[in-house]
Structures are given as structure tokens and as C-alpha cells.
Amino acid sequence: MNAHDIMTEYVTQSQLAAALGLTTKTLQRYGQLPDGLPSLRLGGKTLYRVSTVRNWIAKRETKPNPRRAGSPR
């Protein structure tokens, strides 16, 4: 196993920001939330495990509130 194999499941902050269409500042803010986006600091870089990011995003999915979707009161 070499270093490349170990790091294939991680992306840098700039790579993740580009993939999600966000700024790196937004990712930093997400990391500071109480249930924030988990990251790893390694060698002066912020890294994100792709599977962890997917799970974090999935936890934020919401269902529409039928009482607010134009339903009569």
C-alpha cells in the first residue's frame, strides 16, 4: 500500500468546494456548526473523506411540510 492508495478516499477543501459549487469559506463555516462537516487537518491541509461528506449531506435532507405546501387551512 502506498500513500496514494491511502488518500484516494479524501479530497481537499478546494476540490470539495468546486464539486459542491460552494466557497472554501462556506465549508469552513459548515465545519464550525454544532453538527458540522467533519474534516481532517493533515500537513497544513484540510481534507474531507468523500463517504463522510455524502453521509453528512444525506442527514440534512428534509421532507416538505404538507401544511405549508399550499394546503388549505
DSSP category for residue 16: H
Domain ranges for the chain = 3-56
CA–CA distance, 14 with 37 (Å, rounded to integer): 15
pTM of whole model > 0.85? no
User: Please, are residues 16 and 25 in contact by the beta-carbon 8 Å criterion?
Assistant: no
Give me the CATH topology for the region 3-56.
Arc Repressor Mutant, subunit A (1.10.10)
* Interval 10-67: pLDDT, tens: 999 999 999 999 999 999 999 999 999 999 999 999 999 999 999 999 999 988 877 7
Give the C-alpha separation, 25 to 14, whole Å: 10
